[in-house]
Structure 1
Amino acid sequence: MAVQVPGAALHDMVKPLEWLLGKWRSEEGQGKYPTLKDFKYGEEVEFSHVGQPNLQFSAYSWHLENKMPLHREVGFVRIKPGTNQVAFVVAQNIGLSEIEEGEVTGQSLKTTSHTVGRLTFGKPPQTQQIMREFQRSGDILEQVVSMKTENTDMTEHLRIKYKKI
């Protein structure tokens, strides 16, 4: 959970990302990958701020049948001053850290990683690149994540549509 600063105004630099703010939830996530069995998952994401020139990000997913925790991510979203260029810095509980960059256009955010770090004892295959897209339409926020590994070209991996809660 992100800590809110009561009365903190949204920093002018991140106002183009204001449409992401809030807590979003879904139990309709679909995962697939050529090396995995297709799966369904639930997830809650939150974008928040404390008045600084970035948004805080957290994502927590769970197995739909047994409700056991799955993937976790935390990070920050920043905008290069005077542009629509965005940086997304993410740490994952599976031992990956990534820096993605891209653009925000209206209510769409698209990023591609240029740096992926991993634990020396991480499970193969090695993730080499991640692409992420958030798109909002009304009260629905959709996220699509694609991934490239040492064995598989860039392929869609996760797709989920959240409702604001």
Structure 2
Amino acid sequence: MDGGAAGSSPPPPEPPPLHPAIAPLSFLLGRWRGEGEGGFPTINSFRYGEELQFSHSGKPAIAYSQKTWKLTSGEPMHAESGYWRPKPDGSIEVVISQSTGLVEVQKGSYDAEQKIVTLQSELVGNAAKVKEITRVFKVADGNLSYVVQMATHLTSLQPHLKALLKKI
């Protein structure tokens, strides 16, 4: 026997203190949910549901995870996860791995006052067709919005995804 009352469990652990390096991006932390739309010259347009999560463990990085689903059926679509490492000079490094096998190394900048993060791919790996990806995230009026652009071996940089999410 464990000596504890039957059915009792310890209280959840307190969240770790926010590392000073990620404090400027604390506006991103939490779970966000909403809808987006996508398209590209080589595919049909589509709409999707989405949930993003930005969390931390007390270290100088933000953990990122994303999942999408078809609005009509709830069937899973895309998922990705990674880490965001903001620097004191306003620059940021991001690594993302996608469920498709594609990986991204992105660099960019953030403006804590404007609550905006701008990313540009330095490397897109394990992708035969995708050559470049940019992402812009912005928090305004309690919403998180983003725009993703993509270039392939057939196209220049084109709008691909955009979404509007609310914190849950």
Fold match by TM threshold 0.5: yes
Q: Which runs of 5+ in 2 are unaligned?
A: 1-11
CA contact (8 A) 1:5 1:51 kept: no
Deviating above 6 A after TM superposition, structure 1's stretches of 4 or more consecutive aligned residues are none
Q: Which residue number in structure 2 is paired with residue 87 of structure 1?
A: 93
Q: Which residue number in structure 1 is paired with residue 50 of structure 2?
A: 43
Question: Structure 1: how far apart are the matches of 2:38 and 2:76?
Answer: 15
**What is the one-letter code of the residue matched to 1:52?**
K
TM-score by length of 1: 0.90
CA contact (8 A) 1:79 1:87 kept: yes
Q: Which runs of 5+ in 1 are unaligned?
A: none
Shift of 1:6: 2.5
Q: Which residue number in structure 1 is paired with residue 17 of structure 2?
A: 9
Question: Structure 1: how far apart are the matches of 2:79 and 2:13?
Answer: 23
CA contact (8 A) 1:104 1:110 kept: yes
Shift of 1:88: 1.1
Question: Structure 1: how far apart are the matches of 2:79 and 2:162?
Answer: 16
2:72 to 40, 60, 65: 65
Q: Which residue number in structure 2 is paired with residue 32 of structure 1?
A: 39
Match of 1:19, SS?
helix
TM-score by length of 2: 0.89
Question: Structure 1: how far apart are the matches of 2:137 and 2:49?
Answer: 17
The structure with more radius of gyration: 2
Q: CA RMSD in A?
A: 1.3
1:56 to 46, 63, 80: 63
The count of residues paired between Structure 1 and Structure 2 equals 155
